Structure 1
């Protein structure tokens, strides 16, 4: 019987009489952490979609779609929409994108480090041109240098005044929670769309009448959930079942 010994380096094991074997690729695949590449469509200033998978750029935060900022003259403008438009223009020059997995966020989105087809780091470009901010909570200051350049040159949102997106979002979420129904339902009271997580980490939703709807069981303890609309499911990072 082979004896397996764990090394001090995570993800490596030694079978007696043999070399160290890395299980990182296998574990990454099991966690749904494979790279994603393909033609990207823009969702907002820091989120794209490839092959039906929502991908949020790692380590940065762009103004929210409905967020407004003040320009150099003090006039209000839709800075969130402007950031999304800038990203769309940037990607139109090389629409193919490749993203390396970093984590899953609380909304079930794939968080990745993404590059344009010509190798340019997308998050870095957004920050350096003032369309997004370095997010120290998640970046450890990885884009602080690009942000300093944007601020010094008064590019994008740095040409006027703005509220940092994470603070703006926290305030508006608090308001929405006090005036709106929850986005995700607990159980299936009035919400019939099943948000399933497959063995490889894929997030797929099933509609009543689809082939696998009746056989699909939802386990909220595993992160699976019920949705009240397809829009809610897509915004949370799920894609529709093909059958």
Structure 2
């Protein structure tokens, strides 16, 4: 077999293999859009539940339920307020939430609409959620208006979660607890 025939054969085989891989990738990426309507239970400012399934609002990150923020030098329960705001928006009409992908916790990532109102965007516009891969114009408007969390000082929800996870792991480690106790006893603790 001549060299040019082998090259042609190898080229055709490579093209066929790539075509099959491309078709498989398209098939795997062609997930149907899931649509959920009806009543939802609001867990926090960016998480819903319905019929035992959890949904995470796509493109936003709201303060955690127990998270505190500061406004005019006074702590306020921004996480609880974010939950109340989402609850009001979800119960204002008949919401429809659509999504294809799941996050690492198995929650369906959704965009929720109540009529013409994009609930995800409204959470950011009201200052009760931050843009997280979407809704940058809404976040800019909320910052300009000093709406919600932008009216004072706050810790970004992802930073709050990270610190809570570190604190939780320290509480579950008896050696860390003992070291903390001894540091407090001797006065080495700086805060």
TM-score normalized by the length of structure 2: 0.73
Match of 1:221 in 2: none
The one-character-per-residue Cα deviations of 1:143-196 (angstroms, maximum 9, x if unpaired) are 111001001011111111101100111011111122138xxxxxxxxxxxxxxx
What is the CA–CA distance in structure 1 between the aligned matches of 2:89 and 2:37, rounded to whole Å?
A: 17
Match status 1:99 vs 2:91 = no
2:170 aligns to what SS in structure 1?
Answer: helix
Partner residue of 1:165?
Answer: 157
* Partner Cα distance (1:83, 1:64) in 2: 8
Q: Does 1:39 align with 2:47?
A: no
Q: Structure 1 regions of 5+ residues with no counterpart?
A: 12-22, 182-243
Q: Where is the strand percentage greater, Structure 1 or Structure 2?
A: 1
CA contact (8 A) 1:105 1:111 kept: yes
Partners of 1:112 and 1:98 lie apart in 2 by 9
Would you say 1:88 and 2:87 are equivalent positions?
yes
Indicate the SS of the match to 2:34: coil
The alignment yields a C-alpha RMSD, in angstroms, of 2.2
Correspondence list, 1:11-50, <5 A: 11=26, 27-29=30-32, 34-50=34-50
Give the greater-gyration-radius structure (CA): 2
Whichever structure has more helix as a proportion of its residues is 2
Deviation (angstroms), 1:34: 2.2
Deviations 1:196-233 (A, max 9, x none): xxxxxxxxxxxxxxxxxxxxxxxxxxxxxxxxxxxxxx
1:59 aligns to 2:59 (yes or no): yes
> 1: distance between equivalents of 2:74 and 2:103?
34
**Equivalent residue pairs, number:** 154
Q: Which runs of 5+ in 2 are unaligned?
A: 1-18, 174-191
Give the SS at the match of 1:86: helix
3-state SS, counterpart of residue 179 of structure 1? helix
Alignment check: 8 A CA contact 2:31 2:100 kept:
no
